[in-house]
A and B are shown apart, each in its own frame.
Chain A
Amino acid sequence: EAQVTQNPRYLITVTGKKLTVTCSQNMNHEYMSWYRQDPGLGLRQIYYSMNVEVTDKGDVPEGYKVSRKEKRNFPLILESPSPNQTSLYFCASSPGTSGDNEQFFGPGTRLTVL
């Protein structure tokens, strides 16, 4: 089944404790992206990757890191989480390298930082 998976789905952590949210897709998509969703603010892009080893900042990259060592995986890293990073996070992938095609979203990861 073609899909985007994220792990964990739910996470409660404390300020300053490094964490990684994994994202994997099995559709051979070049473009991958991370979003956060907050009430009243919609979806905001954190980072995107047009291909392996090519990443760039989205609208709200501060406090986040990503890597794209393989085509199928695009982990999101929070080196020192803070309470303002409490949010619902979505990973997405898209065919082509530019991202101007349908984005296929993962199920979401709800993160709470205490």
Chain B
Amino acid sequence: GENVEQHPSTLSVQEGDSAVIKCTYSDSASNYFPWYKQELGKRPQLIIDIRSNVGEKKDQRIAVTLNKTAKHFSLHITETQPEDSAVYFCAAKRSGYSSASKIIFGSGTRLSIRP
């Protein structure tokens, strides 16, 4: 079945440095790729998403890149700050009103920012 692999499972970076989290997916028909951030004890919240007709998307310090040929996408956080400490989840799904509308999440990356 469909699968999304996420690496690394834990990541520790110095405040101010960049962090990169990578995901690979198995379903070549996937065309929607969101990233969610979950702070300790809180619910997941969308931070950025990308669709397959776009190769890169940026929102201030956060960017996502997509390589459809290789079936992988990555989250890039620049100038990391203490409030970036959280668990990050990637996900992949097909788009469209059909039975293939389920969402597959990666297993998560726990990001810690060292002061």
Could you say which residues of chain B place their CB within 8 Å of the CB of A106?
43
Measured in the bound complex, the distance between the Cα atoms of B97 and A43 in whole Å is 22
Could you say which residues of chain B place their CB within 8 Å of the CB of A40?
9, 107
Q: Which of B96, B98, B102, B105 contacts A42 (CB 8 A)?
A: B105
Report the count of interface residues on B (CB-CB < 8 A).
Answer: 30
User: From A58, which residue of chain B is reached at the shortest CB distance?
Assistant: B102
Q: Mark B66-93, 1 if CB is under 8 A from A, else 0.
A: 0000000000000000000000010101
Q: Mark A95-113, 1 if CB is under 8 A from B, else 0.
A: 0011110110111100000
Indicate whether A76 reaches chain B with its CB closer than 8 angstroms.
no
Q: Are B43 and A42 in contact (CB under 8 A)?
A: no
Indicate whether A44 reaches chain B with its CB closer than 8 angstroms.
yes
Q: Are A59 and B102 in contact (CB under 8 A)?
A: yes
Binding site for A on B (CB under 8 A): 1, 6, 9, 31-32, 34, 36, 43-46, 49, 51, 89, 91, 93-99, 101-108
* Nearest 9 Cβ contacts at the A-B interface: A100-B32, A105-B43, A42-B107, A43-B105, A100-B95, A102-B46, A42-B105, A42-B108, A58-B102
